[in-house]
Amino acid sequence: MNINLLILRNLKKNMKNYYLYVFALIFSVALYFAFVTLQYDPSMDEVKGSIKGAAGVRTASVLLIAIVSIFLLYANKLFVKRRSKEIGLYQLIGMTKARIFRLLSVENFILYFGSMLFGIFIGFASSKLILMILLKVMGIETSTTLQFSEEALIQTILVFFAIYLLILLTNFVFIKRQTILSLFRVLSSTEEKVKKISLFEILLGAMGIGLILLGYYISSKLFDGDFSTINELFMAMIVILGSVIIGTYLFYKGSVTFIANIIRKQKGGYLSINEVLSLSSIMFRMRSNALLLTVITTVSALAIGLLALSYISYYSAEKAAEDNVPTHFSLTNTEAAEKFKAALARQHIDYQEKRIEVIQVNTDVTDIMETNLAELNFDPSQMSLPVVSEESVNGDIKKDEVLFSGYNDAMALMMSLKDHGEIELFGKNKSFKQHYIGLQDEYVIPFNFSNGGLPTVIVDDEIYQALKNDLNQDIQHDSSLYIGIDINEEEKLEAANTIFQSLSFRENTINYSRIEMSNSQKQVMGLTMFIVGFLGLTFLITSGCILYFKQMDEGEEEKSSYTILRKLGFTRKDLMRGIQAKQFFNFGIPLVVGLSHSYFAVQSGWFLFGTEMWTPMIIVMIIYTAMYSVFGILSVLYYKKIIKEAL
């Protein structure tokens, strides 16, 4: 048998064993190629032009390279290790290390570049679909054509060739370092020996859970006003990150073992087959994979969190626009409004108009403040709030009372208000002590009047007139008039918006179209979501593959145990039940920990991104879980094969 035949035979064998590696490789190349193709596609110009998409796409492609190369290097390391016996054997029969290295390199080359070509083909085929998805989530309508980009091809080949060189280098170092003896031993030395649980480990385990809970606790308090300066807030975030990440590591290192051990102790040595296969194996395995699992968990949590947050803002775009602009269109000067109305009339679009006068009044809200704002460099006794008359909003307010209306969620959480209390409104000369009776949800004026989300004060008309006659000019806006226009028929809204956009208003007038605002937010968040989703998907698949490879290894190593158990008279079904339980924990624990991390990350700051948390977050989590489970199921199927062969 000459060396070429050997290579061919190995390839045939490896293809069967490592089909998932080949799949992952093809997938990575396809994803990368599709992504780079997007970058060079002419229809992306619009995306790039409208918002700084190019930078986003480029950053994402760099991250994509990082994820893919780490994954490929790791997978390669696992495979070389699995083949160490074979390498040792070649050495034993007198092959030089250089020759073995050449053998491996050629094998790798064929496998690698074969998959790469295939991946490029798939990437090309799917790039149009991906582009269509992107344009759809961004709400841009252009026709797409399938274009083969040479730049993308060259870039992909260069990147993956570089990764191939890296793989060669690690293989070279691996072979160089090994002696025949150590090659034979390599598998057994990597896995930690089974040993007793020490008190120290119990402490570590308890500390892990403690640190994670501490991180969660601080994160839930993050925007409650306990951390009021930027520095404190920043410190708190660092502490959360640190304690959660270290906690996660210790959790895998100690807590899982610790909990499993408690359950086991209670059984008093009398274990059922399910417990034998799941508990005892997880107890020892998880500990030796602690670092890997921590990285996987943290990055999954990050991916889920970011994806959920961007989906939250995407999802809330319409609601947010509604809060910011209470009517379909908002204008601030009569001239522009007349121009717009005339244009609408020409197109026979019916509308309703409302005009609200808004004045800015300094207010003392110290008495109704829940939080202490002194540290925020914010003086609650001189807060500039928009004030409108009860008549403009068809309300009825008593003379000595005020009602607040429309308070931004993010602001409301940082500066929470009491249910009632006393406030004082300051005119230029006079001041009015009023009784504050509460806060209503409705937004009555657009956000350019509300100084970044502060509530609107609704007062009795008499008080309003008095304040208006006694204005503090320093804090007034250019315009004190809000002209809101609502289109009667929903279906004509698009047409009205086109007119609104085509009109040239005088500069420095503030005009908003609600639909335009919602669309542009959808575009920004759509692109973010797309990029994060893309990266998240790559990460999910690569980490799923790594866990699966680990399980493949574990399965091979435990094969002898299955032989024993089957000889003792346990059926394949008994063993499969145990394996299912084991895989449920093996894949479930990192998933649950990751989901829980991302839940706490999202809930601590979601209100800064949108108005609805649960629906978008749960959708993201369900999709992630479903895709992740695929790998768990694949690994169970692999075990099924091993158990079948075990006897």
Partner 1 sequence: MMKILEAAKIHKNYGNKWNKQEVLKGIDVSVDEGEFVSIMGASGSGKTTLLNVLSSIDNVSSGTILINGKEMTAMKEKELATFRKTNLGFIFQEYNLLDTLTVKENILLPLSVSKVSKKEANQKFKEVATELGIYDLKDKYPNEISGGQKQRTSAARSFIHQPSIIFADEPTGALDSKSASDLLKKMSDLNEKHKATILMVTHDPVAASYCGRVIFIKDGQIYTQLNKGEQSRQAFFNDIMKTQAVLGGVQHEY
Instruction: Give the residues lining the site for partner 1 (CB under 8 A).
Output: 193-196, 268-273, 276, 280-281, 283-284, 560-561, 563-574, 647
Task: Determine contact, residues 500/340, Cβ cutoff 8 Å.
Answer: yes
CB-wise, 102 or 264, nearer to partner 1? Answer: 264
CB-wise, 192 or 419, nearer to partner 1? Answer: 192
Distance CA 622, CA 611 (A): 20
Q: Which SS3 state, helix, strand or coil, does residue 587 take?
A: helix
**Residue 276 CB, nearest approach to partner 1 (Å):** 6
Q: Fill in the DSSP letter of residue 42.
A: T
CB-wise, 280 or 440, nearer to partner 1? Answer: 280
CB-wise, 2 or 189, nearer to partner 1? Answer: 189
Matching residue, tokens 């032009």: 49
Distance CA 287, CA 283 (A): 7
**Residue 192 CB, nearest approach to partner 1 (Å):** 12
**Residue 69 CB, nearest approach to partner 1 (Å):** 35
CB-wise, 488 or 571, nearer to partner 1? Answer: 571
**Residue 566 CB, nearest approach to partner 1 (Å):** 8
The C-alpha R_g of the chain, in whole angstroms, comes to 32
**Token representation of residue 400:** 């000595």
**Residue 644 CB, nearest approach to partner 1 (Å):** 11
Task: Determine contact, residues 11/111, Cβ cutoff 8 Å.
Answer: yes
**Residue 588 CB, nearest approach to partner 1 (Å):** 19
CB-wise, 563 or 603, nearer to partner 1? Answer: 563
Tally helices (H) and strands (E) across the chain: 22, 10
Helices (H), 191-289: 199-221, 230-250, 256-267, 273-277, 279-288
**Residue 632 CB, nearest approach to partner 1 (Å):** 21
**Residue 293 CB, nearest approach to partner 1 (Å):** 18
**Token representation of residue 550:** 């680990």
Cα atoms found within 13 Å of the Cα of residue 25, Cβ hemisphere only = 26
**Residue 568 CB, nearest approach to partner 1 (Å):** 6
Q: DSSP per residue over 511-569, as a string?
A: -EEHHHHHHHHHHHHHHHHHHHHHHHHHHHHHHHHHHHHHHHHHHHHHHHHHHHHHHTT
Amino acid letter at 220? S
CB-wise, 275 or 409, nearer to partner 1? Answer: 275
Helix axes 317-324, 290-315, angle to 10 degrees: 50
**Residue 196 CB, nearest approach to partner 1 (Å):** 8
CA distances from 500 to 342, 350, 620 (A): 11, 14, 36
**Residue 260 CB, nearest approach to partner 1 (Å):** 11
Hey, CA dihedral for 541, 545, 547, 548, is it positive or negative? positive
CB-wise, 401 or 574, nearer to partner 1? Answer: 574
Distance CA 544, CA 531 (A): 20
Give the β-pairing of 351-357 and 481-487: antiparallel
CB-based contacts of 173: which residues, under 8 Å, 6+ apart? Answer: none
CA distances from 545 to 18, 173, 297 (A): 11, 24, 14
CB-wise, 196 or 348, nearer to partner 1? Answer: 196
CB-wise, 188 or 231, nearer to partner 1? Answer: 188
**Residue 256 CB, nearest approach to partner 1 (Å):** 14
**Residue 646 CB, nearest approach to partner 1 (Å):** 11
Hey, CA dihedral for 207, 208, 211, 212, is it positive or negative? negative
**Residue 16 CB, nearest approach to partner 1 (Å):** 23
Reference 539, options 26, 67, 33; nearest CA is 67
Hey, CA dihedral for 166, 171, 176, 182, is it positive or negative? positive
Helices (H), 402-513: 409-414, 461-468, 493-502
CB-wise, 480 or 563, nearer to partner 1? Answer: 563
Q: Which SS3 state, helix, strand or coil, does residue 378 take?
A: coil
CB-wise, 533 or 578, nearer to partner 1? Answer: 578
Angle ∠(519,522,528) on CA atoms, nearest 5: 150
CB-wise, 476 or 563, nearer to partner 1? Answer: 563
CB-wise, 284 or 584, nearer to partner 1? Answer: 284
Phi, psi of 449 (to 5 degrees): -90, -20
